[in-house]
Structure 1
Amino acid sequence: MQDGVQLSSVGTFERKCPEAALRESEERFRTLVQFSFDVYWETDAQHRFIRQEFSEAIPAPPVSEIGKTRWEVPYLEPDAEGWRKHRETLDAHLPFRDFELARPTPDGGRRYVSSSGLPIFDETGRFMGYRGVGRHITERRRAEQALREMQAELTHANRAAAMGQVTASVTHELSQPMTAVLCNAEAALNWLGSQSPNVEQARRALASIVADARRGGEIIGWIRSLIKRAPARKEGVDVNGAILDVITIARSELLRHRVLLQTDLASDLPLVDGYRVQLQQVVLNLILNAIEAMNSLDARERELWISTAADGSNGVVVAVRDNGPGFDAAMVDRLFEPFYTTKAGGIGMGLSICQSIIEAHGGRLWAGANQPRGAVFRFNLRRE
């Protein structure tokens, strides 16, 4: 009897141990979800939600989506192509990580979620569904958007500041075609107003007027694109042509500071894929920086070189060299840091913005020492 009691007690103990272990495991799991994720979810073999558990830290937990697939719940992002790629992953029963989507909120806003999942198979290898977790990333996305807007504002301010430095050049470049238009118009009137009108000479004068007017329009269009907030459309960019346009605009600034400019632009370069105006902003910044760096030199010693070449990957490398005082080797790594500047009145955003533009084009901007003195800034760009 005593043995029977003991056996009965042992049996009860053995039955309770797995149950207690299961409850303890479940509690650990819930603690992990509560502190690490905002939601734990499970789906069946048809990708319908069969379980959702939300963290208590969420101020207003979303409405349950049990019985629906992820794409059957109203969404704002991603687009059709994003969903197609995600469903290909699911149909292939592959794990996925940080799939981001946006749901509409009752107040007309967006709720962003990042979801990760692992496929589950039974002992025979049959696909059973997914288990996964999700995080609400709305605040992170808002912060990222605010950062993008701030960067756009800084980029715009940098462009405007650069244009302020070349106002004299802009005025000079516009005055040339306008003066030519006026002279040719007067000549055409004279040719046509004489007792024996010279139609051919008048036609040539009118053709010159058209050409000069187009040139003036191109200059105005370039200035407008440089200072407006929204970038132009992406296109195949002729790097040499883009550089020559910048040199034209900066010519008076170069003359005012008595800087001798030399160019070595390689022929037969491939077009690069990018935003022409943004790349021109980079070149303009580097030119203006070089001019300023050489202010301490005797005017007869100020020289600036701009060169282009094809790189090994059939892209393009642009180099802007000056013979100014250069910079300490220890400074090189900090030159592109936001708000780091060696100028008394600088804010330290020009080179940082230039670097962001080049990196957004898939390239790299770097600095080094020019020989025998000065600095050289190079950047590379991918072909179209």
Structure 2
Amino acid sequence: MTPLLASDPQPSLMLDACAAVLEVNPALQAMLGPWPQRTVDYWLPSNYQALVNACLRQVRAICDVEALVAERILLWTFIPVSTDRVLLRCRDATAERQAEREASQARRLYRLITENTTDLISRHSPDGCFLDASPASFRLLGYWPEQLRGVAVQSLFHPQDRQQSLQQAAQALEQDGYQTMTCRVRHHDGRYLWFEIASRAIRETYTGVVVEIVSVSRDITARVEAQENRRRLAEVVEANTDLVLFTDRDGHLSYLNRSARKALALQDVEQLPGLQALLDPALLQRLDREGWQCAERTGVWQAETRLIPWQGSTAFPVSLVLLAHRGSGAERYYSLVARDMTERELREGQQRRHQDELAHSARLITLGELASGIAHEINQPLAAVVNYAGASQRYLQALDRDPQAAARVAQGLQRISEQATHAAAVIKRLRAFLRKEPRRLQALAIADVALEAVRLCDWEAARDHVQIALQIADPLPTVYADRVLLEQVLLNLLRNAIDANREQHRGQPSRIVLSAEWFAGQVQIQVSDQGPGVAPERLDGIFTPFNTSKPEGLGLGLSMSRSIIEGFGGTLQAMPGAQGGLILCCRLAPVASAATEEK
């Protein structure tokens, strides 16, 4: 064996000009195992023959030619040692090449991440100037990386953040080598955005001096604005005069604003009570029956109820709204917003009292206008009483002469009693119509109320040759109203119709129809006249207060009638008649529906 080959510690072999193996040194045999169990083609590069020829022809070494052998990477160096011999030296570079490839792959991955990340990655000199930046700089700040190089980072900071932020950052980087700050950074278009900037110091290995700063900047403008909006919303909720309560489905309260704590007497209570202790029992049943489900389905549920302050204070009326919310994790949570209706109840009570006073005054005026008819209706039975009394006196004087006188006196007394009872009934109706009492809602039969209203205006209708026809369907459900006020409404509608007929027919016979029927789930009462009617564009205006076409009218009858009917939960509208004239249509809910609404 050639001394050169034998003394070479590196695996090597000798080839001739034809690329045939002449000698193999011990180091190569030890590395490759028993030799030559495989042909030389297995261990050498696939083009080793051409490389041998090139090496001899050019008289130069060819270095680090790679050969992949059973997942091992061998690097061969071809060295010409004579005109017809080539020395091949081998080096196992498997670990080296794999490390290089992994490092190259890591560099490619890092470059891919850097170039595509949504955060801005930047390098800075110790004095804060940009050395480089990732392409995200254009999307976030409107600057390309080339435009930022050499720019002082402090020049982009908001003036209010500049001095304090830079001093804190410099101290933290010098002491800890890491610092995170939140500040405003100027965009290329002049607006300022909120950024969260995490910076790390790169130090010189031996001296520890900061030679470079690497920063990762993230746009948190949306987050900061959301936090600010939440803060403002929290301030609004806390300062709101409405009661705001946060709860879960089981009634566990987690938050009450200031108004809620004050109204519910919970200012000094650390452990909040359950929602059940603050709600009316009837509302709790409605919540379980429909409230929670409705809020989850539509997002909101409303109710009129009363809240009970803690430890037995007086309950107060509220308008309650239950709102259902969904968190980011799809969990449900709820808020209750309650508006104190105590003042509204007082105003409504006062308004009802004023309305009742006005209605009573209107009844007095109406009876004054019907005075002649009322006097006629009372005078008739009184005149009959006088006549029957005189006749009875004459028969008493003739008892001894006329055997039938006693029977005729008895008959006269009976008729006197009947006429006196009739007069008393008229007076009773008038007293009931004029009574001044708080309104009393009760179940009423429309037929009875309509008949009483017709009786009150019957003489006026007869005087003007107006016939009032009653068309009451049977049976009809009862309605929920005050008897006197409903009677007053019907009387207003009838007298309005009588005036319209008198204006149109001027003493000629005419007709009014007072009808009642079941229509669309309500009791519908209509008064139809044969008057001149009202233009369609003026129909709704006839219910405006002080709007009247009568020279001596106040224009309050129809306006007050609509207010009374709406107070019963109904409606009063006007519409043109099919054959001319005007139809005043009143609709009231039956007792069952009205009771449900009251609850």
TM norm. shorter chain > 0.5: yes
For 2:381, the equivalent position in structure 1 comes to 177
Is residue 8 of structure 1 aligned with residue 178 of structure 2?
yes
Is residue 143 of structure 1 aligned with residue 347 of structure 2?
yes
Structure 1: stretches of 5+ with no match in the other structure: none
Overall identity of the aligned pairs, in %: 22
For 1:117, the equivalent position in structure 2 comes to 322
CA drift of 1:51 comes to: 2.6
Q: What is the distance in 2 between the residues matched to 1:42 and 1:32? A: 15
8 Å CA contact retained: 2:461, 2:468: no
Instruction: Answer with 167-176 or 367-376: which moved more.
Output: 367-376
Q: What is the distance in 2 between the residues matched to 1:87 and 1:383? A: 27
Return closer, same or farther for 1:192/1:9 CA change in 2, 3 Å cut-off. farther
For 1:215, the equivalent position in structure 2 comes to 422
Is residue 263 of structure 1 aligned with residue 469 of structure 2?
yes
Aligned equivalent of 2:338, options 119, 134, 141? 134
For 1:27, the equivalent position in structure 2 comes to 231
Matches within 5 A, 1:149-228: 149-184=353-388, 194-195=399-400, 204-228=411-435
As a proportion of its length, which structure holds more strand? 2
Instruction: Answer with 242-251 or 371-380: which moved more.
Output: 371-380
Local SS of the residue matching 1:67: coil
Aligned equivalent of 1:322, options 530, 533, 538? 530
CA drift of 1:90 comes to: 6.9
**What letter corresponds to residue 549 of structure 2 in structure 1?**
T
**What letter corresponds to residue 512 of structure 2 in structure 1?**
W
Size of the alignment, in residue pairs? 371
**What letter corresponds to residue 256 of structure 2 in structure 1?**
Q
8 Å CA contact retained: 1:180, 1:212: yes
CA drift of 1:197 comes to: 7.9
Return closer, same or farther for 1:346/1:234 CA change in 2, 3 Å cut-off. same
Aligned equivalent of 1:346, options 509, 532, 553? 553
Structure 2: stretches of 5+ with no match in the other structure: 1-125, 127-171, 183-195, 199-219, 592-599
CA drift of 1:309 comes to: 5.5
Q: What is the distance in 2 between the residues matched to 1:26 and 1:267? A: 61
Return closer, same or farther for 1:302/1:327 CA change in 2, 3 Å cut-off. farther
CA drift of 1:33 comes to: 1.0
**What letter corresponds to residue 235 of structure 1 in structure 2?**
A
Deviations 1:297-337 (A, max 9, x none): 674336342242645558454323133x4333321121112
Local SS of the residue matching 1:101: strand
8 Å CA contact retained: 2:243, 2:257: yes
Instruction: Name the TM-score, length of structure 2 as normaliser.
Output: 0.50
Instruction: Answer with 260-269 or 346-355: which moved more.
Output: 260-269
Q: What is the distance in 1 between the residues matched to 2:370 and 2:179? A: 93
Deviations 1:195-250 (A, max 9, x none): 568776555545444443443333223222222233455234242x5444333322
Structure 1 or 2, whichever has the larger Rg, is 2
* RMSD between aligned residues: 4.6
Aligned equivalent of 1:85, options 286, 304, 307? 286
CA drift of 1:10 comes to: 4.1
**What letter corresponds to residue 177 of structure 1 in structure 2?**
P
Return closer, same or farther for 1:33/1:254 CA change in 2, 3 Å cut-off. same
8 Å CA contact retained: 1:269, 1:316: no
For 1:54, the equivalent position in structure 2 comes to 258
Matches within 5 A, 1:238-253: 238-239=446-447, 241-253=448-460
Local SS of the residue matching 1:9: strand
Q: What is the distance in 2 between the residues matched to 1:154 and 1:332? A: 24
Deviations 1:136-176 (A, max 9, x none): 34333333333333322322222222222111222222223
Q: What is the distance in 1 between the residues matched to 2:519 and 2:337? A: 45
**What letter corresponds to residue 9 of structure 1 in structure 2?**
Q
Return closer, same or farther for 1:31/1:335 CA change in 2, 3 Å cut-off. same
8 Å CA contact retained: 1:98, 1:114: yes
Return closer, same or farther for 1:374/1:112 CA change in 2, 3 Å cut-off. closer
For 2:157, the equivalent position in structure 1 comes to none
Is residue 284 of structure 1 aligned with residue 284 of structure 2?
no
Return closer, same or farther for 1:289/1:118 CA change in 2, 3 Å cut-off. closer
Return closer, same or farther for 1:267/1:187 CA change in 2, 3 Å cut-off. farther
**What letter corresponds to residue 499 of structure 2 in structure 1?**
E
Instruction: Answer with 140-149 or 37-46: which moved more.
Output: 37-46
8 Å CA contact retained: 1:322, 1:376: no
Return closer, same or farther for 1:176/1:231 CA change in 2, 3 Å cut-off. farther
